[in-house]
Amino acid sequence: MKPYLTPEAVAYAALLASSFHRQTGQLLPEDPEQLWHHPHPLVSHGAQADPVFCYANRAALVLWEMDWHSFTQLPSRFSAEPDLDIQSDRATLLKTALAKGHVANYQGIRISAKGNRFAISQTLLWSVIDTYGQARGQAALIGKITPLIG
């Protein structure tokens, strides 16, 4: 079975789409196949103290040069460079998104599993909240990617 079509992944994809609409007023495909094939990278991590990725669409897995199984075991802090200032900025952004519901036009530097660095911009980060108001994590829809050399 395709990993994005397991019952858990299908349910989470629906939650991503519904929470995106509630938090931003915008729409994402609710169909798990359409979300998987969405042209923009989409990632989400859980609500743990040290959040671990729990969803990535095909575009995100290509960008991070990982498969579903590896990506969904990765603490999300490892998707950014280990520089303390970058990690601090990332933590501040996540707190802001949690407090406000979403943050638009985020930009930052990320690193793939193979060490390739890239800038993300025009990124929309939102809190994944279920219909009971329970925080289930945070997600990012990446608008623009710029490969970085060196």
Q: pLDDT tens digits, the chain, 150 residues: what are they?
A: 899 999 999 999 999 999 999 999 999 999 999 999 999 999 999 999 999 999 999 999 999 999 999 999 999 999 987 765 455 566 676 676 666 778 898 888 899 999 999 999 999 999 999 999 999 999 999 999 999 986
**Domain-by-domain residue ranges, the chain?**
3-147
Topology, domain 3-147: Beta-Lactamase (3.30.450)
CA dist 44 and 76 (Å) reads: 9
In this predicted structure, what is the pLDDT of residue 81?
73
